[in-house]
Chains A and B, each alone.
Chain A
Amino acid sequence: MSEAQPLLEVTDLVKHYPVRGGVLRRQVGTVHAVDGVSFSLAPGETLGLVGESGCGKSTVARSVLRLVEPSSGEIRLNGEAITRLSKSELRPYRRSMQIVFQDPFASLNPRMTAGDIVGEPLTVHGLASGERKQERVAELFQQVGLRPDQMKNYPHQFSGGQRQRICIARALSLGPSLIVCDEPVSALDVSIQAQVINLLIDLQRQRNFSYLFIAHDLAVVAHISHRVAVMYLGRIVEISDKAELFANPRHPYTQALLASVPVANPRIRRLTPLVEGDVPSPINPPSGCAFHTRCRYAMDRCKLERPPLVEASAGHQVACWLNDGTGRANTNP
């Protein structure tokens, strides 16, 4: 852990959505989309966020950018609390935080040229116009591996991987210090996925910005991240340095997740699922440790008390009651 001030600090982030039902649209329940999430991100660092569908990854991402309003909790950027800023107060901070989404098809305006899409943030923030802007956009195109003569083309004239490059160029245009990537390569073919991951890595080396990187593919997250946080039903259950997490996963859910990844080696066949059943609904999440309904090590206490996220070893935090709150030693890989 570095001593320097974190770029991003998220503390006890909560986002609940009301569930309405009946003719009167009364609130009949609450979706616990994000339920007390804390983490920090250093300058130039990549934090990976993994977990299964619906565990709250995108909600965390959008809350950080204030694209959804958190129900409670605090978000600090360079030490400044941005959680309760008004729209206009937030404006200067918007420049330093950008997002790249999963679907490069849906997130681009089909009636704008690629050049206009990439240059739009420059116009909106009044940073460049006319020839100056065109030059800047051409530069951005080159940085993401597109040809400047493609600036006049429309999104449908690009392949999926190229469209994702356009999104990345647009995110870069304002010189951000944080880029949130929400499943940026999930929709791409493997050979194209490798190109985009390499691009993201190269850009970070040049510019030293931070990534909050979300993906459901553990291998992809593991590849690009310095640290990894594992989420389950709205909470972080484990967070650690990447190498440590993969060598010594401590939470039974992390262990199951790792064991479920099909290994690309036919000599290591291990098709034995470590968890049975499905992820429970976030509408009425299980009491205590939310994983207790699927955990083979669950004890009585797990059903009653929620395990806090505590340091099990230097820089490695886990939320599990086993072994005095340090989780389970990983015996079967």
Chain B
Amino acid sequence: MSGASKAEAVLEVRNLKTVFFTNSGLFRAVDDVSFSVRRGETLAIVGESGCGKSVTALSVMRLVPDPPGKIVGGEIILEGKNLLALDDEAMRKIRGNRISMIFQEPMTSLNPVMRIGDQITEALRLHQDISGKDAWKQAVDMLRLVRIPEPERRAQEYPHQLSGGMRQRAMIAMALACRPTLLIADEPTTALDVTIQAQILALMVDLQKKLGTGLILITHDLGVVAQTAQRVIVMYAGRKVEEASVEALFENPLHPYTRGLMASIPAVPSLDAKADARLVEIPGMVPSLTKLPTGCAFAPRCRFAVPRCREEYPPLGDFGGRHLAACWRAGEMAEAS
């Protein structure tokens, strides 16, 4: 791992702020979020619905719908270039070429009336100066790489002729066709069955190793995080509340929200597991971004909250070995463990 950790970052996001202007007012969907991704590294972003995972990804792609959204602060440095300083034309050359994104539902990004092979060919020819014939050959090679059986025949087919798992493979083939340095996968396996999910995750991790791609994996499934990531950031109500290596996060979560999340997932039982045992629950619900409390956004649900938590937002602190947490009491948690 030490070799990988010395490798330079392909992406650095610093103090990203993305807001939305809506009927119920302005809110910060992503608030002062920083992270980096190295070559060949997987960074997982976890958190519950609405915490800003997808908007973070869309911000990096510069695909936040404007209006109502807008990136209002920060820097997004890809291979040394600040993407926020680029014009639309320059950004189009980067998207699908240096950074690609795959989504939960492949049908939203595949064109239903175009053959799979043509779609990959088009993506290739948009960014590379190659003949249609060569591009088609590369497209078939990509389908083979993502282990689609009979790639020559499948390339001739339309998206609806493929199963869900096969479509997600085709999406991955398209996303990796130009060998991007960064791949963003937003809940890539959430819509899939668990045996198919296992296939797709194994494939992604394998290809990433082979090609050295940096990967941002967005998920709400801590199991998926544990199985794939090297680093993890946990988001809550638009903020990064914890960041650590995957081992440190699972062995010693410092933020009460992360601890709550880990305790609330049911595990596949061992023999001694009781039938109807209660789960640990986080009380209350995720706050609305338009009505965030002052101080720590997690305070209304936190059993460790002290008066200070309701007054001041806790800054991110480093509790050793790049294990960051934004919590007034994280120091105590770190000591206690």
Contact = CB atoms under 8 A, between A and B. Distances in A.
Contacts of B131: none
A21 B105 CA distance: 28
Contact of A273 (B202, B260, B278): B202
A193 interface: yes
Nearest to B247: A266
A159 B288 CA distance: 10
B264 A193 contact: yes
A266 B196 contact: no
B256 to A, nearest CB: 12
B224 A262 contact: yes
Contacts of A264: 222-223, 225-226, 250, 262, 265, 267
Interface in A36-95: 46, 52-53
B265 A246 contact: no
B144 to A, nearest CB: 15
Contact of B195 (A46, A197, A273): A273
Contact of A52 (B166, B195, B228): B195
Contacts of B48: 189-191
Contacts of A194: 264-266, 279-282
B286 interface: yes
A265 interface: yes
Nearest to A260: B198
A220 B266 contact: yes
Given A261-B223, A266-B250, A204 B265 contact: no
B311 interface: no
B336 interface: no
B49 interface: yes
Interface stretch (B22-30, B73-81, B268-276): B268-276
A271 B279 contact: no
Interface stretch (A25-33, A221-229, A295-303): A221-229
* Interface residue tally on B, bucketed by range: 35 or more
Contacts, number: 154
A262 B273 contact: no
A2 to B, nearest CB: 14
A195 B280 CA distance: 8
Contacts of A272: 198, 202
Interface string A184-206: 00000111111101100110110
Nearest to B264: A194
* Interface residue tally on A, bucketed by range: 35 or more
A276 B250 contact: no
A189 B276 contact: no
B113 interface: no
Given A223-B266, A224-B276, A191 B226 contact: no
Interface string B193-224: 11111110110010000000000000011111
A271 B203 CA distance: 9
Contact of B282 (A191, A224, A274): A191
B268 A198 contact: no
B193 A191 contact: no
B165 A198 contact: no
A193 B199 CA distance: 26
Nearest to B200: A273
A276 B267 contact: no
A194 B260 CA distance: 10
A258 interface: yes
Most chain A CB atoms below 10 A, which of B260, B269, B277: B269
A219 to B, nearest CB: 4
Nearest to A161: B285
A276 B220 contact: no
Given A257-B194, A264-B262, A266-B246, 16 more contacts: A190-B222, A192-B285, A194-B279, A195-B282, A197-B279, A216-B194, A219-B265, A219-B268, A246-B268, A260-B198, A262-B198, A262-B226, A263-B268, A269-B227, A272-B198, A278-B164
Q: Which 5 A-B pairs have the closest CB atoms?
A: A262-B223, A223-B266, A194-B264, A52-B193, A191-B282
Interface of A: 46, 52-53, 159, 161-162, 189-195, 197-198, 201-202, 204-205, 216, 218-220, 222-226, 242-243, 246-247, 256-276, 278-279
9 contacts: A53-B164, A161-B285, A190-B265, A220-B266, A223-B277, A262-B221, A271-B202, A273-B198, A278-B166
